[in-house]
Copies of this chain bind each other. A is one copy, B any other.
Amino acid sequence: MATKKEQPIILITNDDGITAPGIKNLIEAARTLGKVVVVAPDKAQSGMGHAITIGTSLRMDKVDMFDGIEAWQTSGTPVDCVKLAVDKILHRKPDLCISGINHGANHSINVIYSGTMSAAMEASIESIPSIGFSLLDYKYDADFTAARFYANKIIKTVLANKLDKHLLLNVNIPSIPKKEIKGIKICKQAYAKYKEEFDERIDPHGKKYYWLTGEFINFDTAEDTDVLALQNNYVSVVPVQFDLTNYKLKKLLEKKKLFK
C-alpha cells in the first residue's frame, strides 16, 4: 500500500482494446490521482467473460500512446492483462485496478459476460480493490464527459477510504449530458436476461451460419436495482463479490438430505 509520500499505483485495463476511446477517457479520469500504468488487450475482447489464455502463449509489448503514461498491450484477455501486470510489469499489487470505460452497458446480468468486469473481478480475487466502469453507449465516438467526471469522483472516494481489500464495484453511467445526471445510487444487480434469437443465414456455398442476437428483458421490479437507477438518470454502483455460493439453496439441500 502507498505511504503518504508515495502516490498510489493505479492499474488500468479494459476489454475494448487499448485503442478504444473509453480507456483514454479512464486514463484522463485517473491520471491526477496516482501513478497510472496501463496494461490492456491489443484488440477488442468484448463478451470474453472471465476467459484466460491456457492453450496458447501470450505476447506483451510496450506502447507509447498516452502522453507520459507507461502502457503495455498484450495478446491476452482482460483477465490475462491483470495477471501479467501484477507478475511482469508492476512486480507488486497496485493500490487500485480500474477497468473500462466500457463502450456499452454492463449492468444487471451483463456482469457475467463482461470482460471489463472480469478484469476487475480478477484484481479483486488478488486482494486489489477494483472498479469497472461502463458507459451506456456502444458508439466509438460516444461522449465520455459525464463518465470521466463520475469515474474521477468514484476513484477518488475509493482511494481515500479503505473499505474492503476485495472491494469490487460495477459502475454504469447513463448516456446523457452531465447536468442531467441526478447523482450516484448504490444498487443491487437487477435480475434480467437476454432473450436470444440467432439470425440464421446461408453462406455463398449454401451452408447455414448463425449470428447471436438478443433482446434485453428486465424481470426485476425491486426499487434498488441498477437498471432502475440508470433509467432514472443515476449512475449505478453495484458492489460485486466472487463467492458464488447460493447459501439459501445450500441450507435447503442440507435440510432435505436428498443426496445421502
Contact = CB atoms under 8 A, between A and B. Distances in A.
A140 interface: no
Contact of A47 (B54, B186, B242, B253): B54
A246 B250 contact: no
Interface of A: 44, 46-55, 57-60, 79-80, 83-84, 86-88, 109, 111-113, 118, 121, 125-126, 153-154, 157, 161, 163-164, 167-168, 183-184, 186-189, 191, 193, 196-198, 200-201, 207-212, 237-247, 249-250, 252-254, 256, 258-260
15 contacts: A46-B54, A48-B49, A49-B49, A50-B50, A51-B51, A111-B244, A126-B193, A153-B259, A157-B258, A164-B252, A186-B253, A186-B254, A239-B245, A239-B249, A241-B245
B197 A87 contact: yes
Contacts of A250: 186-188, 238-239
**How many identical chains are in the complex?**
2
B167 A249 contact: yes
A236 to B, nearest CB: 11
A259 B154 contact: yes
A50 B52 contact: no
Contacts of A183: 259-260
Given A86-B196, A157-B259, A189-B243, A52 B212 contact: yes
A155 to B, nearest CB: 11
A244 B241 contact: yes
A84 B197 CA distance: 8
Contacts of A191: 243
A184 B259 contact: yes
Contacts of A111: 244
Contacts of A256: 161
Contacts of A197: 87
A229 to B, nearest CB: 12
Given A49-B118, A237-B259, A242-B244, 11 more contacts: A49-B49, A53-B212, A58-B209, A83-B198, A87-B198, A153-B259, A186-B253, A189-B243, A239-B249, A239-B253, A241-B249
